[in-house]
Amino acid sequence: MTSRISAVDLINRRSMRNAVEVYARFDTLGPAEVAALNSVAERVAGGSVLDIGVGGGRTVSALRELSTDYIGIDYVTEMVEACRVRFPGVRFEHADARAMPQFADASFDLVVFAWAGICMIDHPGRLAILGEIHRLLKPGGAFIFSSYNQNSSAYTSWFKFPEFQWSSAPGALIRSGTEFVRSLLARVINRVRFLPKEVRTPNFGIINDLSHDYGTMLYYISLENQLKQLRAAGFNAEINVYDSLGNTAKSDCTDDSLMYVAIR
């Protein structure tokens, strides 16, 4: 595991440690994820699967339907422990995707990095992850991941107020008001703290994103530049990209995130 701890790591790991219970509530896939898995299902069925950034275990059941030869990893220990409790008997390990020496070359038929987990790492780390995944995949193996889109409005949005949930019931109204104030204060404080750490370039950006009340630093990249990164890492030239509805994405797509399927 890499010993390099960046500001992006420190900020995002803190947010993830505080969100274990939240992530453990989810267990369904989005349309783009379904489309991506369907596109490789025949290729990888029964093969070895590595689920990176497993979080609270949202993708576990769906991937184990493809194959029970499954390993889930996360760089947050608390997430790993939550998955072990939620899915007894399934293999989960604490690991950092930037360096996975515990796995041999050409070990997996499918590697998945869902919910834009690859976007929680800085630029050098992202390139290291792409290289590691290429190393771990068998020839013809598939890499499925989602990534935030630099062409989306989320990339240029400066601040968003939390939503206020109106209720005619006094108790519910008080709770809504309390939550609104808590979220607003957290957003303002986090924005002031983390805005100076943003990096914006023509090829990618790392911004203080709205996620977790502006408690994260997330990597954004355009579709065209993401394709260039994948090809530079050694993946095949033909890469499928899906929008949020599970349709083939075009280069001018403005969805917040895109789903990629790359073949080694």
Cα dihedral 54/60/63/68 (nearest 10): 110
Alpha helices in the chain (DSSP H): 7-17, 20-23, 31-44, 60-66, 77-86, 123-136, 153-156, 170-194, 211-214, 223-232
Pairing between strand 257-263 and 240-242?
Answer: antiparallel
Q: How far apart are CA 12 and CA 108, in angstroms?
A: 27
pLDDT of residue 35: 98
Here the tokens at position 2 are: 């890499």
The residue behind tokens 């029970």 is 68
Q: How far apart are CA 250 and CA 77, in angstroms?
A: 37
Tally DSSP H helices, then E strands, for the chain. 10, 10
Cα dihedral 35/94/13/99 (nearest 10): -80
pLDDT of residue 19: 84
The pTM for the full model equals 0.93
Q: How far apart are CA 95 and CA 80, in angstroms?
A: 9
pLDDT of residue 143: 98
All domains in the chain, ordered by first residue: 7-152+215-263 (3.40.50.150)
Residue by residue, pLDDT tens for the chain (264 residues) are 444 568 899 999 989 988 888 888 888 999 999 999 999 999 999 999 999 999 999 999 999 999 999 999 999 999 999 999 999 999 999 999 999 999 999 999 999 999 999 999 999 999 999 999 999 999 999 999 999 999 999 999 999 999 998 888 888 889 999 999 999 999 999 999 999 999 999 999 999 999 999 999 999 999 999 999 999 999 998 899 999 999 999 999 999 999 999 999
Q: Which residues are CB-neighbours of 238 under 8 A, at least 6 positions away?
A: 263
Measure the CA angle with vertex 120, ends 263 and 110; round to 5°: 25
